[in-house]
Structure 1
Amino acid sequence: MHQIQATLATIAAALDQATDANPVFLGTNEKKEALAALMRSRTRLEELYLRVVASADDVAAEVGARDVAAWLIAQHRVESPAAHATLRLAQELEGRPVVRARLAQGRFSLEHARVILRGLDDLPDDLPAEVLAQAEVTLCDLAGEHRPKNLRRLTTHLLEVIAPEVAEAAEAAAIGRLEQAANAKATLSITDQGDGTTRIHGIVPETVGHRLRTYLQAYTQPRIAALEADGRVQPRSRLLAHAFAQLLENTDPTRLPAHGGDATTVIVTMTLDQLQADLGAAWLDDGTPISTGETRRLACTAGIIPAVLGGNSEPLDLGRTRRLFTPTQRKALALRDKHCRAEGCTVPTAWCDAHHDQPWSHGGHTDLDHGSLLCGHHHRRAHDPTYQTTRLPDGRYRFQHRTRTALRR
């Protein structure tokens, strides 16, 4: 019997033993360990599945199927897009031994692997083989520390780490290609559902989505609008839908034709030399990279706040002169924090409160060095004596529920 067959038989037998096992009887720590182990095991099984798929051309040939994806569709009722995506991933992993090996160890997810493969494909074709090998190892290391979305953003800066001598030109070219591809994929459909509602479905470039999100969050007023009349919290998706209606209702139709009126404020981080010389890249306040050309285009229609641009700036650190953070400080905190600073939380900055590390009433300062953005949930935790708050070295907050013994102390 082949080793893969023996392994699968052992797994099947072990799963049979756990069929009727009730996880409710696991302790909290045991559940955490079980979840972590199951995630690793799932990834390892998925890698083994992809390894077999990559070598299964003979299975398709036996029944005259075009490829193993077509065989999966016909024999195992797999959806066509999923089957072909699986085959593509399996084939791509064949040429990336480090990525495949890390998957086999359960070090990161398939989504991480897809991001890594895409990032490697976006590198310049003329890079030396040793640089490409280093890039694969670097991305695999980063995948163990970041979520797929954040890892995708890091891939745009990969050359700065592994080949800084070619990074600037390559990064600008890569972002330009990404923007061109995004514009080519852009689509928007507005369909009357026949029941009094309309379905709006669209795919737009990141810069467009960022601007729309900024507009809508301005209308949601999270602290006020988040509650229904009966006190229940509204889903965020409903808040955004209502905000979209308000946005349209408040749009001045007399200002639409030629230029569409005033645009929202955009925070862009780059130097003045870069903006003028078309070098490098810029970043929006949520970390989205944009090309210098796109920055100049936004400058024609949007108010751009310079972050380290060398222009005139408003005072940010106001010390003890004010209790509340100013709008300028809020923008600076958003630019720095990106989202709620609680460990593992991704609530966007527009839904967060500006939190004093030390309460203002206890001598805390209203400045950037002593402030962070926390969502409403974690802001309440930060002031809840039943939780211990720890500031991590990277600036994030970790919350741990205190035991009754610790509270009595």
Structure 2
Amino acid sequence: MAHPIRQAAAEIAGALKSVADVNPAFMTAPDKAAALVELAAVEARVAELRLRVTADAADVAEETGARDAGAWTASATHRRRGDCAADLRLASALGERPVLAAALREGRVNLDQARVIASALAKLPAEVSSSVVDEAEAALVGYADRFDPTELARLGRRILDVIAPEIAEAVEARHLADLEASAHHRMRLGLRALGDGTTRISGLIPDASAARLATYLHAFTNPRRDDTTPPADPSLVEEGPNADSTLVEVRAKRASKPSEPTSNPVPYGRKTAQAFCHLLETLDPTRLPIHGGDATTLVVTMSLDSLRADLATATLGNPAPGDSHDRITAAEARRLACTGGIVPAVLGGKSEVLDLGRSQRFFNRAQRRALAIRDGECRAEGCHIPAPWCEAHHAGTPWAAGGRTDLADGMLLCSHHHHRAHDPTYATERIPEGGVRFHRRT
């Protein structure tokens, strides 16, 4: 005689077979709604039964030499190993959590909710007593009637505030201290050039540093959600003592002009990447650590002919041993030369250094403020990006042709139009109002 669990599985299979050819299209809407809820409950109950068997299936793995019941199940049922390993962990957790197991068995908790609850309970600090853990289990199972897995996970992280507020703060402080210490130990950052003009950045950094970076990036992305959205009136932007900081507070006392919808909005990920590049370009090199006996500086090397040519290249940076030199266009090098922290090294025909740029070549803070007062916003025709988010550009006589770094030759351009100013495929035209107009060369 078959085991009762196998009999139940056979009966379930038979019941499903009896409706295999039934078309749900002919069900009424109320019947469909009820069926979806009922089948979800049945699915949860079947999953609990499967996990209950999995928890006691170590002997099955031993008979076949499998690593564990999860690995055996993955091979026998052709499922992903990661999913089966997660099932085995949940099955073990349910064996120690009778309230959660009963709720799953009765269909009051679905499989996703059960995983979240089990994970939340496992993450409670070791010093929390078993009675408090039991209370947390009961509370989270009760919340499952109203909250989805995402909301349950959020509640699980703060469950001690609900059931044991007298110890929650102290426990959380110790837990956060452990997390912060672990984060500083595990943090990593890597850069890998892909050979297609881009470099992949991958890493793991502490939450506090990530939050700070996100705030800085928001300072760049928020005022220019797309190229057609004008930000707040530049005259209403307040500059504090740290006016050149990446964090600028904009207080609009009146609404900005309505923007026309754009048909091709810039993806948020690309905007964030642009903001990150902009952030690097606005770092003050005089506040960076001493590197190689001098303030941290990036050197762009090119020949004099390349400097003056529209289509030419330059070498960027002093690579570490084993790294290759990064190549950029001469146009990009000329644009970078307008910003602080970039020293252009111009070579003659025999590679002798004709000119090595000095920090005085760049617009200083006082000049930037003067340009902000004079220009107020990006001087490109039709652009209204405010001064705090603009870059100083040598607009009169180009730097490559000996232009001076003074207010007469200076002009504010947003990052987008500063790139255009150094793009050889675009021509610039000064307009009567003092700004510039761009058009693609034919």
TM-score for both structures, normalised by structure 2: 0.49
> Shift in Å at residue 51 of structure 1?
0.8
Deviations 1:158-190 (A, max 9, x none): 223322332221121123333444455545555
The residue identity in structure 1 corresponding to 2:82 is P
The residue identity in structure 2 corresponding to 1:141 is G
Q: 1:240 is matched with which residue?
A: 269
Deviations 1:261-294 (A, max 9, x none): xxxxxxxxxxxxxxxxxxxxxxxxxxxxxxxxxx
Q: 2:163 is matched with which residue?
A: 162
Q: Matched residues in 2 for 1:193 and 1:132: separation? A: 49
> Shift in Å at residue 224 of structure 1?
5.0
Say if 1:156 and 1:175, in contact at 8 Å, map to a contact too.
no
- Name the SS of the counterpart of 1:65 in structure 2: coil
The residue identity in structure 1 corresponding to 2:269 is L
**250-259 vs 92-101, greater mean Cα deviation:** 250-259
Q: Matched residues in 2 for 1:212 and 1:24: separation? A: 52
Q: 1:330 is matched with which residue?
A: none
Q: Matched residues in 2 for 1:15 and 1:232: separation? A: 49
Q: Matched residues in 1 for 2:161 and 2:46: separation? A: 34
Say if 1:124 and 1:170, in contact at 8 Å, map to a contact too.
yes
Say if 1:186 and 1:202, in contact at 8 Å, map to a contact too.
yes
CA distance 1:234–1:145, shift in 2 (3 Å): farther
Q: Determine whether 1:4 maps to 2:33.
A: no
Q: Matched residues in 2 for 1:23 and 1:221: separation? A: 51
Q: 1:378 is matched with which residue?
A: none
Report matched runs for 1:128-139 at 5 Å.
128-139=129-140
The residue identity in structure 1 corresponding to 2:274 is A
Say if 1:47 and 1:100, in contact at 8 Å, map to a contact too.
yes
The alignment-based identity, stated in percent, is: 37
Say if 1:156 and 1:174, in contact at 8 Å, map to a contact too.
no
> Shift in Å at residue 230 of structure 1?
10
CA distance 1:134–1:252, shift in 2 (3 Å): same
> Shift in Å at residue 14 of structure 1?
2.6
The residue identity in structure 2 corresponding to 1:245 is Q
The residue identity in structure 2 corresponding to 1:161 is V
> Shift in Å at residue 222 of structure 1?
9.1
Deviations 1:366-399 (A, max 9, x none): xxxxxxxxxxxxxxxxxxxxxxxxxxxxxxxxxx
Q: Matched residues in 1 for 2:274 and 2:182: separation? A: 30
Deviations 1:307-331 (A, max 9, x none): xxxxxxxxxxxxxxxxxxxxxxxxx
Q: Matched residues in 2 for 1:226 and 1:10: separation? A: 63
> Shift in Å at residue 155 of structure 1?
2.8
> Shift in Å at residue 7 of structure 1?
1.9
**110-119 vs 199-208, greater mean Cα deviation:** 199-208
Q: 2:173 is matched with which residue?
A: 172
Report matched runs for 1:74-89 at 5 Å.
74-89=75-90
Q: 2:143 is matched with which residue?
A: 142
> Shift in Å at residue 157 of structure 1?
2.9
The residue identity in structure 1 corresponding to 2:124 is L
Q: Matched residues in 2 for 1:191 and 1:255: separation? A: 25
Q: Matched residues in 2 for 1:132 and 1:84: separation? A: 24
Q: Matched residues in 2 for 1:205 and 1:41: separation? A: 42
Say if 2:217 and 2:279, in contact at 8 Å, map to a contact too.
no
**How many equivalent pairs are there?**
257
Greater helix proportion: 1
CA distance 1:259–1:197, shift in 2 (3 Å): closer
Larger Rg: 2
**131-140 vs 153-162, greater mean Cα deviation:** 153-162
Q: Please, what is the CA RMSD of the aligned residues?
A: 3.6
Report matched runs for 1:20-39 at 5 Å.
20-39=21-40
Structure 2: gaps of 5 or more residues: 230-259, 290-442
Q: Matched residues in 1 for 2:26 and 2:200: separation? A: 44
- Name the SS of the counterpart of 1:146 in structure 2: coil
The residue identity in structure 2 corresponding to 1:108 is V
Q: Matched residues in 2 for 1:22 and 1:138: separation? A: 40
Q: Matched residues in 2 for 1:257 and 1:52: separation? A: 65
Structure 1: gaps of 5 or more residues: 261-409
Say if 2:144 and 2:152, in contact at 8 Å, map to a contact too.
yes
> Shift in Å at residue 135 of structure 1?
1.9
Say if 1:73 and 1:80, in contact at 8 Å, map to a contact too.
yes
Deviations 1:202-227 (A, max 9, x none): 55444455445555555267975799
Q: 1:42 is matched with which residue?
A: 43
The residue identity in structure 2 corresponding to 1:93 is L
Q: 1:321 is matched with which residue?
A: none
The residue identity in structure 2 corresponding to 1:255 is D
> Shift in Å at residue 55 of structure 1?
0.8
Say if 2:226 and 2:265, in contact at 8 Å, map to a contact too.
no
Deviations 1:42-101 (A, max 9, x none): 322222221111011121122232321232244334333333222122112111111111
Say if 1:188 and 1:200, in contact at 8 Å, map to a contact too.
yes
Q: Matched residues in 1 for 2:55 and 2:276: separation? A: 50
Say if 1:220 and 1:240, in contact at 8 Å, map to a contact too.
no
Say if 1:226 and 1:234, in contact at 8 Å, map to a contact too.
no
Say if 2:117 and 2:137, in contact at 8 Å, map to a contact too.
yes
Report matched runs for 1:103-142 at 5 Å.
103-142=104-143
CA distance 1:213–1:126, shift in 2 (3 Å): closer
